[in-house]
């Protein structure tokens, strides 16, 4: 997490080049991660906003994410991209234990020549 004293470990798996329909290629990724930092919320200069300001994940913090990315080749030079993602972050080292959920969605075209 950048140049902070924070640490994490993670494990992930992915399936690449999934094809069920002609000209449609998909990629699926799943990852789980946990913090390894022994810095507590009271020892940081920002107090209760340690994660928000420094990206510090404590030993009780964890999360997971799932991403599905798709490319549909419309023509030889034109492709449609569609990406979906979800991440769940559970911060137990914060003063008020809370969970954060985030979603992403993206649709775009790419023309190459």
Query: Residue 47: pLDDT band by 50, 70, 90 thresholds?
Result: very low
pTM score of the predicted model: 0.72
Token pair recorded at residue 38 = 């022994």
Name the residue with higher pLDDT: 35 or 79. Answer: 79
- Write out the two tokens for 18: 């999934």
Looking at residue 68, what is its pLDDT? 97
Q: What is the pLDDT of residue 80?
A: 97
Query: Any residues with CB less than 8 A from the CB of 10 and at least 6 apart, and which?
Result: 31, 32, 33, 34
Average pLDDT over residues 101-110: 94
Q: Measured between alpha carbons, how far is 93 from 8 in angstroms, rounded to an integer?
A: 14
Beta strands in 19-112 (DSSP E): 24-35, 62-73, 78-91, 98-111
Whether the predicted pLDDT of 91 surpasses 60 = yes
């Amino acid at each position: 997490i950048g140049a902070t004293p924070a640490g994490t470990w993670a494990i992930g798996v992915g399936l690449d080049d999934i094809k069920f329909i002609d000209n449609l290629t998909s990629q699926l990724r799943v990852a789980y991660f946990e913090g390894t930092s022994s810095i507590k919320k009271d020892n940081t200069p920002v107090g209760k906003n340690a994660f928000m300001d420094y990206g510090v994940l404590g030993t009780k913090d964890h999360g997971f994410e799932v991403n599905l990315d798709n490319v549909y080749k419309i023509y030889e030079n034109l492709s449609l991209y569609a990406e979906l993602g979800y991440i769940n972050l559970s911060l137990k080292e914060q003063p008020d234990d809370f969970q954060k959920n985030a979603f992403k969605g993206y649709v775009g075209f790419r023309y190459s020549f």
